[in-house]
Amino acid sequence: MSIAQSVLPAAEERPVRRGLFARLLRRPSAVAGLALLGAILAMAALADVVYPADPLDMVGTPFLWPGADPDFPLGTDMMGRDIAAGIFHGARVSLLIGGVATLVSLVIGVGVGAIAGFFRGRADHALMHVTELFQTIPPFLFAIVIVAILQPTMTTVVLAIGLTSWPSLARLVRAEVLRLRDGEMVQASIVLGLSDARIILTHVLPNVLAPIVVSASIMVASAILTESSLAFLGLGDPNIVSWGSMVGAGREVLRTDWYVATLPGLAIVAAVLALNLLGDGLNDALDPRQNRR
């Protein structure tokens, strides 16, 4: 068998990616997730158009209940700030932090997992020890320590979440790369004299794309929850409005004016639910066993 022929069977390992959007639309969970996520993205994109003023400005009478004033459809909080404006602008902050933090985790996790799985030996041993070290520390507590040391800003929150979320992804990528490392495609590439970096980037990682994409959607949801929890504890950037900071501010009046904390809390639930539903749909759509049916 020639080298070219030996590469062909390995190509079948790659998940079928044609018509991904069409396959997603055949899955109710994915459609629901896309619809919810689309609505939240629209809120983030239109925040400056619908509510051009600073959402932290005191623009109305405090404790206006939803529906009491048409100028403030979702009411105002204890400081007279528009809750609807806060939710719209908070969508941008939460999605931005979740997305960038996930990107940081992807770079670290995929890099560590790919190097450990491909080179094995000492590199694998050393990198897995580092991964285990990070896994022994509770991620949320680790994020709190990082933010507390570096001061709570949007940048430090992103770094804290990104630096504490990559170990599980690194282990997943490592397991997939170890499976592919002895495959015919990789062995043929080595015989052809391709560099290790080229083999990893062009032949290994594309075959690990499906679990990475699914994991990324779940990681964004987890990052949004972590950011909301940090902001709830007062460790968010005080100069921006986020769903977590709105919930944290509203907890003081939860018994008398529950809507102040509940409405941004529902926005968090909607975003996390949308990303989890989308992750389930992507998992099914990118699964080659599902695609053969």
* Residue boundaries of the structural domains of the chain: 29-51+86-291
Q: How far apart are CA 93 and CA 81, in angstroms?
A: 17
Kindly give, in sequence order, each residue whose CB lies less than 8 Å from that of residue 14, ignoring residues fewer than 6 positions away. 206, 207
Please provide the CATH number assigned to the domain covering 29-51+86-291. Answer: 1.10.3720.10
Q: Which 3 state secondary structure label does DSSP give 130?
A: helix
Q: Helices in 53-151 by DSSP H: which ranges?
A: 83-119, 121-135, 139-150
pLDDT in tens, the chain (293 residues): 444 444 434 444 444 445 677 777 888 888 999 999 999 999 999 999 999 999 999 998 999 999 899 999 999 999 999 999 999 999 999 999 999 999 999 999 999 999 999 998 899 999 999 999 999 989 999 999 999 998 889 999 999 999 999 999 999 999 999 988 888 888 888 888 888 888 888 888 888 888 898 899 999 999 999 999 998 888 888 888 999 889 988 988 988 899 999 999 999 999 999 999 998 888 877 765 555 44
Q: How far apart are CA 259 and CA 89, in angstroms?
A: 18
CB count within 10 Å of CB 155 equals 13
